[in-house]
Structure 1
Amino acid sequence: MATKPTESITILSLRKLSLGTAEPQVKEPKTFTVEDAVETIGFGRFHIALFLIMGSTGVVEAMEIMLIAVVSPVIRCEWQLENWQVALVTTMVFFGYMVFSILFGLLADRYGRWKILLISFLWGAYFSLLTSFAPSYVWFVFLRTMVGCGVSGHSQGLIIKTEFLPTKYRGYMLPLSQVFWLAGSLLIIGLASVVIPTIGWRWLIRIASIPGIILIMAFKFIPESARFNVSTGNTQAAVATLEHIAKMNRSVMPEGKLVEPVLEKRGRFADLLDAKYLRTTLQIWVIWLGISFAYYGVILASAELLERDLVCGSKADSEVVVTGGDSGESQSPCYCHMFAPSDYRTMIISTIGEIALNPLNILGINFLGRRLSLSITMGCTALFFLLLNICTSSAGLIGFLFMLRALVAANFNTIYIYTAEVYPTTMRALGMGISGSLCRIGAMVAPFISQVLMSASILGALCLFSSVCVVCAISAFTLPIETKGRALQQIK
């Protein structure tokens, strides 16, 4: 009788075991996203090469943009130009930039960042070389406009860097790209000080085209963005790119299969104005426009202040009147003042200011966040524009210009990073392209404020620059999304 309970318990246990093994569990295969792969692979040799090659696009862009500032006094004399004609050259360069920035952004989201970057460099180098043979002022304006069209595609280099960098490195590596812009600015000013007085401005343009041509050959070492490839359904190419990066970095890929949704709707204007991004987009556009207005305003105002010492009212001592035409009615006076070696040195010193606040800018971006950091630097920019109204010594003027260049460069650093981070892959290039396009409106207006209005009223011009910076500071502070530490979004 003692064994009966034991037997019934044993039979019951076997039945439970049998029922438990009747339904085996199916293990789900492991998967990962591009974001997972980028974070797992980490930072290494590939990213250093990426930083050097894609960062060098800033050298070329800076040389082409700054070229106008150093050539303006020469063409003013050679073709006997008035102030508005000199300003029109810069305006048309940015008009070309504005139109093609949208087009290149749209095409980059649909056909790839790498292809558009290559096309833009080929375009820019070709028309830059042609500019050196311009037979007249009209041809010069047209060809520089075409150069502006090509330069507008250089921002794809920043997008490629952003999409390959791990999250925690973006706030450090992207601001360091300012070093390349600084290098390009210093290089063109240094070349101008040697080339223009000896063999002329045409040879300066030809020499300035060489870095862009060399860089084109280096693009083959950087692949297309893996984030873009998966958005188009080309998962195989994305995996191959990620494996190549892992091999270069001596790292490993995540386990499993790369799985991302295919995004058919890419590069659509409507997405930027979707309810989720509408407020952010509008405020970004205001900030881009204001930052560009202030940045190029500082560059061109520096040249004007150096040429004619407008603040202290001693411009008459440095003016040479050039007249054109045979009759008195056709004669129109214009200022003809070539840069002296001391002027080039002052431009170099003020340009070096662009890197002066870079360490603080990096700390601000990573610890205060993108929004607060941008708001602070924009507010300080407004203050230093007002300080330019003070009649001071040459050293004081250089000091103000130095700080202004440092602040406007920090502003550009932060808004570039924020814009690249806030939009998802489906519209990142288009968002950057339209922002870059709208900011050129500010760049187009800046010459007429710095080179025309400033001649009539320096107080009015500098107060206008300051007011725009205050508006941008408020817009930056009230941005609805903070991107510090935020993973790049694949879809909206």
Structure 2
Amino acid sequence: MGADDETVCAFRMEDHIKTKLVSAIHLQEMELQVKPQTFTVEQAVETIGFGRFHILLFVIMGSANIVEAMEIMLLAIVSPEIRCEWHLDDWQVALVSTMVFLGFMLCGVLGGYISDRYGRWKVVFGGFVWSAFFSLLTSFAPSYGWFIFLRSLVGCGVAGVSQGFVLKTEFIPAKHRAFLLPLASIFWMIGSILIIILGMLLVPTLGWRWMIRLSVTPSVILIFLFKFIPESARYNVSAGNIKAAVKTLEKIAKMNKTCLPPGRLAEPVVRERGNWRILLSSSFRRTSLLLWYTWFVASFTYYGSVLGSSELLEKNLLCVTDADREHQIKHRHEDGLCYCIPFAMSDYQTLLISSLGEVALIPLNIGLLNIFGRKMALTVLQLLSAIFFMMLNICTTMFGFTVILFLLRSLVSMNFNVVYIYTAEVYPTVARSLGMGFCTSFSRIGGMIAPFIAQVLMSQSVIQALSPFAVACVVCAVGNFLLPIETKGRALRVRNQTRFFHFLKTISLV
């Protein structure tokens, strides 16, 4: 072959390569025309970013914590009053809290199921209305039996309100969750402080019934404000309501003065929403079992610290080296129980200071979440809580007791906050509310047991009452360390990868 022939072959080869390259480019352009660009809700939430909508969301949905805190903390304030009015034994006072948590537990799973099947917004709004109505009725309770029955119905409503955490989480970008969600503790602290102040001002003058009536006010206000919060776009997508999801995302983008990603919203419809078997699938079985115990301990220790501190103050069971005259009166006398020992003004002040502890260590909480992740934060907080529970038994001054109680309330509150965040992040959209509902129901079992330890056993022995809380914290810390999934920085998922998708297909055939 001559030089001219080689040159011709080279040119032909070059033309062939150019032709293939042009054809590939043309084919790619045709594919792009056939397959328009799409985006998911997760991508839309991250693109929109943080803005004015999230501030509104944070304030309104955070205020739901005010309602929940007031209803729960009310039990600690009203216990001495109903003990006196109806001459109750320790177990009867403890039963009040237990019935509230029983209502919360029974409605927690139901609320989670309805939320995953029919929407978050309906459940949260219904919870506001329900809890406000029955809380108001509680103030007119003619007897102890009516009181505990109505408070259990209030607990059912509060279970619906607690689903607001899921609704809020599903709108927040991943990088902001570890910062914004711990700040929600501020609203819980506000609720605790409000009910303590109402008790301080109204109980000695107008009585506990008027305190409950005025405590309903935040729920009524939120009923009207809640119309500004849309249904979760993640829920709408999972339910196949793409049009509503796009409308919500466009509204949020407009408020934040940003734009949605280019293309159209496209995610597959998931029909198996709210199926409890998802929680015990191979992808989540270990996580669910450990989380259920973690939630049990979170509630057990939190309400143990709240009700236990109230009991120590009311019955003057503290080992205080500088006790004043009011705190030298003991609950038990030779001639029987002394039912009427109302809170002194100093007792209200101690409860106020300890409630401030729920937000004092928020910077530490944010640091633990962002640096060490959710699992390690839970482990550290539980171990520290165990130490401070046992420190309550140390003989100290009234100031020393207040400091220990302040730090204990900080730790158990932070633990509750972190476990809320982890649960909302670890489960996919199709089972997020149901997963939260199961977890909160297990937490209420802890809440049901805590009063009998903190209010009944405490009268017999302070050290025996504090030990179960400390032991539960240590065991829980080990369980938290063994959680298989770390959710730090992870996007919220509609499904959990291929294995979970195959699981959904399997159960849909059953």
Q: Which residue of 471, 492, 509 corresponds with 1:488?
A: 492
- Confirm or deny: 8 A CA contact 1:80 1:334 kept in the other structure: no
2:350 paired with 1:346: yes
What is the CA–CA distance in structure 2 between the aligned matches of 1:316 and 1:59, rounded to whole Å? 31
- Cα distance change on mapping 1:252 and 1:83 into 2, 3 Å: same
Q: Which residue of 145, 150, 159 corresponds with 2:157?
A: 150
Fraction of identical pairs, as percent: 55
- Confirm or deny: 8 A CA contact 2:238 2:430 kept in the other structure: yes
The C-alpha deviation readout for 1:433-485, integer Å capped at 9, x for no partner, is 11000010111000000111111111111111100010111111111100001
- Cα distance change on mapping 1:152 and 1:11 into 2, 3 Å: closer
Is 150-159 or 181-190 further displaced after alignment?
Answer: 150-159
Report the counterpart of residue 43 of structure 1 in structure 2. 50
Q: Which residue of 107, 117, 125 corresponds with 1:118?
A: 125
Which stretches in structure 1 are left out of the alignment for 5+ residues? 323-330
Once the two structures are superposed, the pairs formed by residues 229-378 of structure 1 within 5 Å of their partners are: 229-312=236-319, 317-319=328-330, 333-378=337-382
What is the CA–CA distance in structure 1 between the aligned matches of 2:14 and 2:337, rounded to whole Å? 108
Report the counterpart of residue 507 of structure 2 in structure 1. none
What is the CA–CA distance in structure 1 between the aligned matches of 2:413 and 2:299, rounded to whole Å? 10
- Cα distance change on mapping 1:18 and 1:468 into 2, 3 Å: closer
What is the CA–CA distance in structure 2 between the aligned matches of 1:296 and 1:174, rounded to whole Å? 21
Report the counterpart of residue 63 of structure 1 in structure 2. 70
What is the CA–CA distance in structure 2 between the aligned matches of 1:243 and 1:424, rounded to whole Å? 23
- Confirm or deny: 8 A CA contact 1:289 1:439 kept in the other structure: yes
What is the CA–CA distance in structure 1 between the aligned matches of 2:428 and 2:460, rounded to whole Å? 46
Equivalent position SS for 2:203: helix
Residue identity in the other structure for 2:171: F
Equivalent position SS for 1:390: coil
What is the CA–CA distance in structure 2 between the aligned matches of 1:310 and 1:80, rounded to whole Å? 20
Equivalent position SS for 1:105: helix
Residue identity in the other structure for 2:481: F
What is the CA–CA distance in structure 2 between the aligned matches of 1:319 and 1:10, rounded to whole Å? 106
- Cα distance change on mapping 1:89 and 1:9 into 2, 3 Å: closer
Equivalent position SS for 1:117: helix
- Confirm or deny: 8 A CA contact 1:319 1:336 kept in the other structure: no
TM-score by length of 1: 0.94
2:85 paired with 1:81: no
The C-alpha deviation readout for 1:195-220, integer Å capped at 9, x for no partner, is 11111111111100011010011111
What is the CA–CA distance in structure 1 between the aligned matches of 2:9 and 2:159, rounded to whole Å? 84
Report the counterpart of residue 173 of structure 1 in structure 2. 180
TM-score by length of 2: 0.91
Q: Which residue of 406, 413, 416 corresponds with 2:417?
A: 413
- Confirm or deny: 8 A CA contact 2:39 2:264 kept in the other structure: yes
Residue identity in the other structure for 2:475: V
What is the CA–CA distance in structure 1 between the aligned matches of 2:150 and 2:489, rounded to whole Å? 43
Once the two structures are superposed, the pairs formed by residues 92-107 of structure 1 within 5 Å of their partners are: 92-107=99-114
C-alpha displacement of 1:151: 0.2
Report the counterpart of residue 466 of structure 1 in structure 2. 470
C-alpha displacement of 1:48: 0.4
Residue identity in the other structure for 2:469: F
What is the CA–CA distance in structure 2 between the aligned matches of 1:137 and 1:12, rounded to whole Å? 96
Report the counterpart of residue 211 of structure 2 in structure 1. 204
Residue identity in the other structure for 1:318: I
- Cα distance change on mapping 1:136 and 1:230 into 2, 3 Å: same
2:405 paired with 1:394: no
Report the counterpart of residue 327 of structure 1 in structure 2. none
What is the CA–CA distance in structure 2 between the aligned matches of 1:303 and 1:436, rounded to whole Å? 24
- Confirm or deny: 8 A CA contact 1:293 1:445 kept in the other structure: yes
C-alpha displacement of 1:335: 2.5
Task: Say what the alpha-carbon RMSD is for the aligned residues.
Answer: 2.3
- Cα distance change on mapping 1:220 and 1:318 into 2, 3 Å: same
What is the CA–CA distance in structure 2 between the aligned matches of 1:387 and 1:214, rounded to whole Å? 41
C-alpha displacement of 1:333: 3.8
What is the CA–CA distance in structure 2 between the aligned matches of 1:441 and 1:94, rounded to whole Å? 7
What is the CA–CA distance in structure 1 between the aligned matches of 2:131 and 2:405, rounded to whole Å? 30
C-alpha displacement of 1:179: 0.2
What is the CA–CA distance in structure 2 between the aligned matches of 1:53 and 1:374, rounded to whole Å? 27
What is the CA–CA distance in structure 1 between the aligned matches of 2:4 and 2:355, rounded to whole Å? 97
Report the counterpart of residue 381 of structure 1 in structure 2. 385
